[in-house]
Amino acid sequence: MTHPSLLNPFHANQEPAKSFGRRAAPATRTTPVCSNCQSDDIIGHATVQWSNESQEWELASTFAQPAHCNHCNGQCDIMWLPRN
Ligand SMILES: [Zn+2]
């Protein structure tokens, strides 16, 4: 199960974030921020799985866990902001 707030709504197909490393920058860049304080200093809990096809780590699960904001020092909801 993937926590819906960890998905990027600016991606049309709602595909979860896949790459944990090299990836070409998408045309529209977005950043997740804390819905309380707008800080982007947030942490997610996730497991990655190696993909033999793409030869990179892919996000396997986020355990439906809320994100953690280092600025609030607590759980937070994620908002996705466009970045230019
Ligand atoms: Zn915060």
50 Cα: distance to centroid of ligand 1 (angstroms): 31
Distance (Å) from CA 11 to ligand 1 centroid: 24
CA dihedral angle for residue 9, residue 14, residue 15, residue 17, rounded to 10 degrees = 20
Q: How many folded domains does the chain comprise?
A: 1
SS3 4: helix
pLDDT tens digit string along 11-24? 555 455 555 555 56
pLDDT digits (tens, 9 = 90+) for 48-83: 999 999 999 998 887 778 899 999 999 999 999 998
Ligand 1 centre to CA of 81 (Å) is 14
What's the domain range around 13?
4-21+28-83
Residue 24: Cβ within 10 Å count: 6
- pTM beyond 0.75: no
Residue bearing tokens 């908002």: 79
Distance 23 CA to ligand 1 centre (A): 27
